Amino acid sequence: MVSAIVMLTTALATGWIVWLSRDPEARVASARAVGAAAWVVIALWLWLVVYYAPIEQVQGIVQKIFYVHIPAIIPMYLGFVLTAVGGIGYLRTRDDRWDQLAIAGAEVGVIFCSLMLVVGPIWAKPVWGHWWVWDLRLTSTLVLWFIYVAYLFLRGLAFGSDAAKTFTSVYGIVGTAAIPFVYFAVDLAQGSTMHPSNPAREGLPPAMGQTVGAGMVAFVLVFAWLVARRMEVAALEAREASALRGAA
């Protein structure tokens, strides 16, 4: 039930983002609604975290970092998906709006990816005693982060050249295509994992499941809102750039 809500929210948010990418400046007004919804879910989620979620036996209260760590996963992946989709769209149509979708996806995606890499160790230190371990989850997330960062470097260094959008589109595609291989490779290289095994497969106690579900919905909404705003800024930048070119 909870996972159905999460998936539905993710699908709707993605659809909204793509719809909005067709005309960011005009359609961004709808972001207000999304923002408001986000605040409501955030409030609910925080209340659940503090009052409803149980205190776990083994880890104690530190375990509640779980509710702020796991929800960042979907936005992290969604960022890659948007970047790849934007990249394919731009290559095929040469329409700048796809490129704006791609850069928004990458920027907001890297933020959530970075959060995972920061919050993860904050959780790991009290529980496992180490800040960092080279297990499957953390390692793959780190490689994903490198891919994001490489994309942003490419964009930054190529910026201004005509080729920039083409190149970043290509890199967005190959970067996202590499992800499943990266996971497989890291799994092979690292073997066992210290990470708590995937609770979705094991089955979480309902209270925990609902709380983390609320967090996931909240984060997806926040992600969507941020992407919408970022696309608006990208559209304004493009408009300014063409105005300056026209004047020059």
Partner 1 sequence: MSGPGASAARTEPQASGGGWRAARHRTSGPMSRWGAPGPVVAITVLNKDLLLDFRTRDRLGHMAVFALLVVALLSIVLPSSPTERLSWSPALLWVVLLFTSLLGLARSFQSETEGGAIALLVQAPVDRGWVFLGKAGASALALIGVELWTAVLFTVFLDVDWSAAWPQALGAGLLGALGLAALGTLLSAMSVAVRFREFLLPVLLFPLVLPVLVFASRITAEALAGREAPGQLWAAFVLYDWVFALIGYFVFDYVLED
Partner 2 sequence: MDEPYNPYLIAAYVITAVVLVTYALRLRAARAALQRRAQGRS
Selected range binding partner 1 among 16-24, 37-45, 53-61, 147-155, rule: CB under 8 A: 147-155
Selected range binding partner 1 among 38-46, 173-181, 202-210, 231-239, rule: CB under 8 A: 173-181
Can you spell out the DSSP letters for 43-102?
Answer: HHHHHIIIIISPPBTTTBGGGGGHHHHGGGHHHHHHHHHHHHHHHHHHHHH--HHHHHHH
Q: Which residue has the tokens 């990208």?
A: 234
State which residue, 55 or 163, has the beta carbon closest to partner 1: 163
Of 14, 83, 169, 211, the residue at the interface with partner 1 (CB under 8 A) is: 169
The verdict on 163 binding partner 1 (CB under 8 A) reads yes
Per-residue contact string for residues 54-73; x = within reach of partner 1 by CB under 8 A: --------------------
Q: Which residues bind partner 2 (CB under 8 A)?
A: 55, 60-62, 64-65, 68-69, 72, 108, 111, 114-115, 118-119, 122-123, 125-126, 222, 226, 229-230, 232-233, 236-237, 239-240, 243
**Largest Cα–Cα distance in the chain?**
67
State which residue, 29 or 55, has the beta carbon closest to partner 2: 55
Cα-flanking dihedrals φ and ψ of residue 60, to 5°? Answer: 80, -155
Question: Minimum Å distance from CB 68 to partner 2?
Answer: 5
Selected range binding partner 1 among 145-153, 192-200, 201-209, 224-232, rule: CB under 8 A: 145-153
Sign of CA dihedral 196, 198, 202, 207: positive
What CA–CA distances, in Å, run from 66 to 39, 42, 213?
Answer: 20, 15, 11
Q: Which does 60 bind (CB under 5 to 8 A by kind): partner 2, partner 1, none?
A: partner 2
State which residue, 122 or 185, has the beta carbon closest to partner 2: 122
Orientation angle between helical segments 163-190 and 96-128, nearest 10 degrees:
30
Question: Minimum Å distance from CB 86 to partner 1?
Answer: 14
Closest CA relative to residue 173, chosen from 40, 72, 68, 81: 81
Question: What is the rounded distance in angstroms from the CA atom of residue 108 to the CA atom of residue 112?
Answer: 7
The verdict on 171 binding partner 1 (CB under 8 A) reads yes
The verdict on 174 binding partner 1 (CB under 8 A) reads yes
Q: Which does 65 bind (CB under 5 to 8 A by kind): partner 1, partner 2, none?
A: partner 2
Helix, strand, coil percentages, rounded to 5, for the chain: 85, 0, 15
Q: Which residues pair with 56 in a beta bridge?
A: 60
Closest CA relative to residue 224, chosen from 5, 15, 4: 15
- Could you tell me if 62 and 208 are in contact, meaning their C-beta atoms sit under 8 angstroms apart? no
Residues binding partner 1 (CB under 8 A): 91, 143, 146-147, 149-150, 153-154, 157-158, 161-163, 166-167, 169-171, 173-175, 177-178, 181-182, 184-186, 188-189
